[in-house]
Chain A
Amino acid sequence: MRPQLPIERHTMAVLVDNEAGVLARVIGLFSGRGYNIESLTVAEVNHAEGLSRITVVTRGTPPVIEQIKAQLERLIPVHKVSDLTVEGPAVERELALVKVAATGDPRVESLRLADAFRARVLDTTTDSFTFEITGSSEKIDAFVELMKPLGLVDVSRTGVVAIKRGAGAM
């Protein structure tokens, strides 16, 4: 038997033509070949050249990760794929909007915790707060977990965006 290969988490940045159907191609590739998508974000990053950047977080064994990169590269509208996890240090951020409906002590407690997490209050009513929080996915997970017993009612997350550290571009 072959040794069990470890499952790794990789963040990839994919530069694509901003054209109809390009996201469907990427998502279809992942579902069609049975790859995992943990998070996927997309937005235009260069209007003049019509380029969008997709950030996708995936999990797989090293050969599967290599396949994912090769498969992405062979999509026709894909310009470049960077595996940020292997190409040196990178920073990753996610933004979340978190709504807590509470009064009395839990309300005060949620505000106190938000402060500790450097979350901003975006919207307030007498019986609710909506917080904006930015950070690693783990930090957001932790914050959401803490809000649950305090009256969490809604969460909206952007998914991960990432970029290389230092002066270099992708």
Chain B
Amino acid sequence: MKKQKYNIQVFAAGVLSLKETPGGYFKMKLAASGIAKAARPGQFISLQVNASGMPLMRRPMGIFSANKGAVEILFKAAGKGTEMLSRKKQGESVSVLGPLGNGFSVREELRHAILVAGGYGVSPIAFLYEELRKRKITTTVIIGAKNKKLIFKEGFSNPIITTEDGSEGFKGLVTERLNAACAGFACGSSAVFACGPVPMLKAAAEVSEKHGIECQVSMESLMACGVGVCLSCVCAVKEGMDTGYKRICADGPVFDSREIVWRT
């Protein structure tokens, strides 16, 4: 019998710290050495916010950092589950499942990366940014938000900020800044990595494709299992002449933008 490799863990992780951050986020640090060692940027974990079944499903969260036996997540208290998560205390534990998903793929030839983040999409982008720095790959970081109050830019040096109301950085959407950034780099040795709301991902895909630059988008959906067994989290993809479906949790969450069939 073939020896099986157990590379997805599920266990009760201790909460090492929980802090509020600029942009209205919560940053939670969890003791999870196995996940910290294995995790790649763009992967996520899934947390059981309440063991008594309300809410029933785990909540998926991108990995913000993975260092020295700990994993950090960055989240918004957006609804009942994340609200409960934001009230956890240091020393309590939360069941985590992970690491999940494929993560971003960084080609050998990559010399320059353009990172585009919207909302909590900044979390996996921050992890990727650290990784690229270690690999001496230069970056242009573009962070977009509705207004100044929602910006999280900790850890990035000189990010380009865009706000819809102009309260910080450039007024408008990330698209224009991305367009300018793409124009400055050769397509073969650069790539765009985007994580954020779907309209932003779609716009990032269009701009990158126009410039002939590879674009990786991190998709999201409601997830029941997070590991690929339930088929609830699919997105439409091009399959030859047809449309098929791929699982965002297991085949993604990161996809080549050219593969996605964007819903209008």
- The reply to whether chain A is a binding partner of chain B is no
Q: Please list the residues of chain A having a beta carbon within 8 angstroms of any beta carbon in chain B.
A: none
Q: Please list the residues of chain B having a beta carbon within 8 angstroms of any beta carbon in chain A.
A: none
